[in-house]
Amino acid sequence: MLPSRASVVVAGGGPAGYMAAIAAAEAGATDLWILEATSEPLHKVRISGGGRCNVTHACWDPRDLVGHYPRGGQALRGPFGRFAPGDAVAWFDAHGLQLVEEADGRLFPRSNRSSSVVDTLRAAAVTAGVRCLEGQALQAAEPLPGGGFRLLLRGGASLQADRLVLATGSHPSGLRIASALGHGLVPPVPSLFTLALGSHPLTALAGVVVDPVVLELEGPAEAMARPAGVSPLPAAAVGAAPRRRQRHRQRGPLLITHWGFSGPAILRLTAFAARDLRAWGYRASLRIDWTGGSLSPADLEERFASARRELARRQLGAARPWPSLGRRLWSHLLEARGIDPGLRWADLGRGDQRRLQEALRQDIYAIRGRGPFGEEFVTAGGVPLGEVNLATMESRRRPGLFLVGELLDVDGVTGGFNFQHCWSSGWLAGQQLAAAVLT
């Protein structure tokens, strides 16, 4: 039953909201309520990681950890110094959930099921005395003259809260409420997504993984990139000197899909380039070094010279310049450059060789939009970090208001980093909430 008044109300039953409420209750606060708009709290946790839930990452030093956050990273050194991945591992272990590290550093529950994470959080909330009201969506929050907030819920119900935690993720309702309470907003844009090529022969290689590659993303060649819908440059600016084109670079595994590109390197690339890609209308040039950056032009020249000596009588299509180069990719590069795969290595001319070397080190593709699926539903944008006391997660503009999780202008790359921010910001808010309630 909805109370008429509560000491602490957490709006949003996701990972950050649950952590804030549990941490506050375990530190001594009482009368804590979570308002969850849907009928399934922690739904994002349940569906994350393909149903496995990548809880956090084995990046133990906060100085290294912040490098995995395209936005907000350096500002998070303090918060991560107080609650880092090691603390998250210990917290879950103390609540009966053991995490297991995989070879790439990602940490999953030993059960390999996200439901174990959901069950752990819900059980911890019940044990700590936190009550969660499902199907209760916060619509507005009005500050009261004497402190606290009057909360208006969907359907017309209301209640009074001494302190309010906004943990609504990137949902527009939370951003609207934060704005109404005096906060600025960095416009949200998608982050962590795949890239589309449109109709392109490379997509016939769907399923091929190349590890590693070096990627370099460059914006369109216009004098100034502009967001979609913005008018062209005024006539007076046409003759102005072009602004330097922005470039983003990453190295790692690449997955070729039936729509274009995916894989860890692409997701990291799009996370760091999220705002530029939005400004470019998701049109860009992607340069791929299929050698992974391990071969210089001189090295590549030597590989081809060696192939001409040792594979002289063999056909190009049947003998790659080095064994680890994928057969399907090599065949595609030959075809794309118009080189007969039946040609013998001994008969490979200098012009064809230069084209193949260029294809291997500087293969260029025109990006034609985002792929059909986002990764972990992450957005870049939200409440600016400068408006929040990051030691406590309390608003600098509205006392008694706390902001945690993806509502803030923070986003991490794939690998458990976004969840780690939820655990850290939620835990810090919980400590301050308890201290304020018990004072």
Model confidence at 236, pLDDT cuts 50, 70, 90, reads very low
Q: Sketch the domain layout of the chain as residue ranges.
A: 5-190+376-438, 197-227+244-374
Sheet containing 99-101: which strands, arranged edge to edge? Answer: 56-57, 106-109, 99-101
- Express each pLDDT in 340-355 by its tens digit: 999 999 999 999 999 9
Q: Judge whether residue 8 has pLDDT over 80.
A: yes
Question: How far does Cα 27 stand from its chain's mean position?
Answer: 31
Model confidence at 231, pLDDT cuts 50, 70, 90, reads very low
- Express each pLDDT in 117-166 by its tens digit: 999 999 999 999 999 999 999 999 999 999 999 999 999 999 999 999 99
Structural contact between residues 11 and 168, judged by C-beta atoms closer than 8 angstroms: yes
Q: Six-digit token pair at 115?
A: 């439901």
**Whole-number pLDDT of residue 374:** 60
Instruction: Just give the CATH number of 5-190+376-438.
Output: 3.50.50.60
Q: Which pTM does this prediction carry?
A: 0.87
Structural contact between residues 248 and 191, judged by C-beta atoms closer than 8 angstroms: no
What does the radius of gyration of the chain's CA atoms come to, in whole angstroms?
26
Structural contact between residues 115 and 9, judged by C-beta atoms closer than 8 angstroms: no
Instruction: Tell me the percentage of the chain whose pLDDT exceeds 90.
Output: 88
Handedness of CA 392, 396, 400, 405 (dihedral sign): negative
